[in-house]
Amino acid sequence: MTEDSHSIYRKVGLASLIMMISIFLSRVIGLVREMIIAYIGGAGGEVDAYQVAFIFPEILNHILASGFLSITFIPIFSGYLVRNENEEGWRVFSLILTCFGTLLLILIAVAMVFTPELMTLAGFRDQQLSDSAVRMTRIILPAQFFFFVGGILMAVQFAREKFLIPALAPLIYNVGIIAGGVILSPWLGMEGFSWGVLGGALIGNCLIQILGARGIGMRFKLSFQFSHPDLKKYVLLSLPLMLGLTMTFSTELFSRLFGSYLPAGSVSSLNYSLRIMYVLVGIFGQAAGVASYPFLTRLLAENRLQEMNRLLDRTLRLIFLVIPFSVLLMVLRHEVVLLIFQRGQFDAAATSLTSDVLAFVLIGTVGFAAQTVVSRGYYASQNTLLPAVFGTIAVVVSIPVYVVGMKWMGVTGVALGLSISALFQAGLLYILWNRHIGSKESAQMLFYLLKIVLMSAGLGLILVAFHGKISEWFDIATLPGSFWVVLLTGALFLILLIVSGRVLGIEEVKTLIDRAVSGLKKRLPV
């Protein structure tokens, strides 16, 4: 391995750390946000209406303002940086921002006019709830413009290998939602949170990112040069992603759409469960995916394909450690939901329903986490068509699972559909990626995955037995009782994980332990 390779891995590690901290904090703040929503609204119809209000704004976000801005624009912008053509790079930046920003504003205006007609697609039987969802949709829709602007501003910062300011976006966004809800809900109810969405998007995803982009020399001028070849290139790269159904988008869409046809509280329980699961996905998957992507594109630009694939596989091996943590959460699902949400309008019945849903959502955690990295392998090679096509196939194939699951199992069936779809999509994309680059390391990755799964299953059996025993010592229907059960079970889990990692020779666990021990030695007197 070259010195340059070591440098890249160090940079990826530092970037991953920054993004991991950011995403962890944003997920924690996101849970606080959901705790406040649960306290004020519980798991009832008004919260369902608030969640459904995101459906059509997120469709617009998916079409024009989602993360593919970074995915498609970074390779284009990085190309100019590599060739020292910075001025032309900023011209293309201005062109894409102007053209697509204008288009998005037009679509937002049209959607606001026709929101009542669009809302008839939801399954609300209560006209009051439907009207509430319409009002909140119209408040949230303009936020998508700020997400778009912020997305392309963060893309240029990522291309410059600057991660700190973009890392602030989700933190400020969630704080904005909380502030809006706490301040305005006494007068506006759940609509207060909708205004918080708009304010958080404006400040965190737009205004702060303008400052970050100016710090790296941003130059912007309105431009409608439709004939520019890189505008056409951007459209061709983005079009499959615009039309394709991504995992994140379909999860949010289907959980709200199918959930709206089930009894009141179904959408809420799905949302609360997904927020908990996304903490793991953010820590293990999203942080690594976002941080590694600029380096994947760089290695490809330098024609170092095998080095790029090794970086992707190393990232995936780390992500697979999400499996034992998912098992831990499955065992502790009732206590975790109770500790996080059960207060105010969120009662014991809501805890029971949400914990049941959480068990099925957690099945797909590794799929949600892995696809954030695997898909970026395609995007780094400027191949957006294959992940879009096969991602859409995976989502469409899973629709009967949602329908059958909803009829046979209710809201837990929808949760199972989400997990099956995530696992299927991640697995399919990885198999096709290995064929695409001619990699012969897939068998090693499969062996490693099986080792992690078997280790996690063994840990799960021990934890279930231990949990059953200590649940007799504490009242898990109370906050103190649940706290002690979580603390003791979590401590046993960490011990078992360390021992298992050592015994089975799982390098990622051993590395984590070695770094922790090394850090302690530096702080302790010899």
Q: What is the pLDDT of residue 3?
A: 44
End-to-end CA distance of the chain: 34
User: Two tokens at 338?
Assistant: 């109770």
Distance CA 12, CA 487 (A): 32
Rounded to 5°, the CA angle 288-290-296 comes to: 90
Structure token digits, residue 64: 């024009």
Is residue 409's pLDDT more than 80? yes
**In the chain, domain spans:** 42-243
Q: What is the pLDDT of residue 1?
A: 47
Burial class (CB in 10 A: 0-12, 13-18, 19+), 2: exposed
Averaged pLDDT, 363-387: 78
Instruction: Tell me: pLDDT of 519 over 50.
Output: no
Do 370 and 426 contact (CB within 8 A), yes or no? yes
Window from 100-104, 154-158, 383-387, 482-486 with minimum mean pLDDT: 383-387
Angle, helix 266-281 to helix 247-259, in steps of 10 degrees: 160
* Residue 70 pLDDT exceeds 90: no
Token pair, residue 397, equals 């194939």
**Most distant CA atoms of the chain, gap in Å:** 72
User: Model confidence at 268, in pLDDT bands (50, 70, 90)?
Assistant: confident
- pLDDT for 445: 82
| Predicted TM-score (pTM) of this structure | 0.69
Residue 333 has pLDDT above 90, yes or no: yes
**Can you tell me the mean pLDDT for 514-518?**
54
Confidence of residue 376 (pLDDT cuts 50, 70, 90): confident
Share of the chain above pLDDT 70, in %: 79
What's the pLDDT band for 58 if we cut at 50, 70, 90?
Answer: confident
CA 447 to chain centre: 27
Cβ burial 335-346 (10 Å sphere, 16+ → b, else e): bbbbbbbbeeeb
Per-residue pLDDT tens over the stretch 306-318: 777 777 788 788 8
CB 82 within 8 A of CB 161: no
User: From residue 173, how far is each of 164, 179, 197, 200, 212 by CA, in Å?
Assistant: 15, 10, 7, 4, 16
Averaged pLDDT, 441-453: 83
pLDDT of the residue at 105: 92
Identify the weakest region by mean pLDDT among 264-273, 469-478, 486-495.
264-273
The reported pLDDT for the residue numbered 522 is: 47
Q: In the predicted model, is pLDDT for residue 12 greater than 80?
A: no
Question: What pLDDT is recorded for position 263?
Answer: 72
Q: What is the pLDDT of residues 475-497, one digit of tens each?
A: 888 889 999 999 999 999 989 99
Phi, psi of 123 (to 5 degrees): -95, 20
In whole numbers, what is the pLDDT of the chain averaged over residues?
Answer: 80
Q: Is the pLDDT of residue 245 over 90?
A: no
What gap in Å lies between CA 48 and CA 38, rounded to an integer?
11
CA–CA distance, 179 with 270 (Å, rounded to integer): 23
User: Residue 508: phi, psi to the nearest 5?
Assistant: -65, -40
The residue among 196 and 293 whose pLDDT is bigger is 196
- Mean pLDDT over 142-149 rounds to 92
Residue 159 contacts residue 78 (beta carbons within 8 Å): yes
pLDDT value for 122: 63
Say if residues 104 and 60 touch (Cβ distance below 8 Å): yes
pLDDT value, residue 355: 92
Q: What pLDDT band is residue 69 in, cutting at 50, 70 and 90? A: low
User: DSSP label at 244?
Assistant: S
Residue 517, pLDDT above cutoff 60: no
